[in-house]
Amino acid sequence: MSKDQNSTLARRHQELQLVETKGQVSVEELARHFAVSDDTIRRDLQELERRKLLLRTHGGAVSATLLVHRETPFLTRANANADAKTLIGRAAAQLISDGETLIINGGSTTFAFAAGLSPRRNLTIVTNNVTMLSVLPPEAVESVYVLGGEFNRNLGSTVGAVGFASGNVSVDTAVLGVTGLTASGGLSTTLLEEAPMMARMITSARRTIVVADASKFGFNAFAQVAPLNAVDILVTDTDPPADLRQALSQANVEIILANQPRMETTNERE
């Protein structure tokens, strides 16, 4: 191993220690600390994420241990298709405007969405996604309301009623991750108790964005949430199979492929 390779390896090890100590750091902070370029730090973080030693966020990284223990089902899901989820999360975040009110459910893809909200400002967020709170950019969020209920360790979120003692909520946009997405069954999730909570999130919002990578296509999970026509936009990483694409078109769902420019379509809802 060359001297340069040894130096890079040592820096990565120190970067990881710094992230774990502080919980969350920015690219700028790491570059200043190690006197290297931002691009060098980004490459290092990409490699450390590939090795599942941390999770990248918009403009930085967060320690996996800050969220939950590495062996929990939530982090296992977060590491599955991690690159696709990061792209999907960033693409979905671009659909949000400053000042919006959002309701966001639990899940690893909505976690990636939350991490991509840094460019936004004055957001009000209602969520049951407890793990997401650690990566919500403070500069983007004005208020956060956490839904009560039973904390489910596998989900990293609470499961309970959508609303508060003072009344129900009405928001601009619901951003939902799902377990399954099929032409005939629509949206589905694994946990029975979670399905009515997600359905209520949809009805509380003026538009619904579903974030789902290709592994969710054609899979019908245990608990049904809503039909496809309850969705306004699907943000994904791969073009859906023919039957699902046709069903989405018939339901007037706009499909946005992450990392591709958004196209105006006849499926835009008025």
pLDDT at position 10? 73
pLDDT the model gives residue 266: 35
C-alpha to C-alpha distance for 149 and 268, rounded to whole angstroms: 35
Domain at 73-257: CATH architecture: 3-Layer(aba) Sandwich (3.40)
pLDDT at 162: 76
**Domain assignments of the chain as residue spans, ordered by start:** 3-67, 73-257
Residues with pLDDT less than 70, the chain: 1-7, 9, 13, 16-17, 20-24, 52, 57-58, 63-81, 153-156, 163-166, 260-270
Alpha-carbon distance values, 120 to 91, 190, 266 (Å)? 13, 31, 28
Same fold, 3-67 and 73-257: no
Instruction: Pick one of 1.10.260.30, 3.40.50.620, 3.40.50.720, 1.10.10.10 as the CATH number of 3-67.
Output: 1.10.10.10
In this prediction, residue 74 carries a pLDDT of 47
Sign of CA dihedral 35, 40, 41, 44: negative
Give, in order, the Cα–Cα distances in Å from 147 to each of 122, 162, 242. Answer: 20, 7, 37
- In the numeric block, which tokens belong to residue 268? 């835009």
Residue with tokens 């991750």: 177
Provide the pLDDT for residue 130. 84
Question: What is the reported pTM?
Answer: 0.69
Q: Which two tokens stand for residue 260?
A: 């591709």
The model's pLDDT over 212-241, given as tens digits with 9 standing for 90+, comes to 999 899 999 989 999 999 999 999 999 999
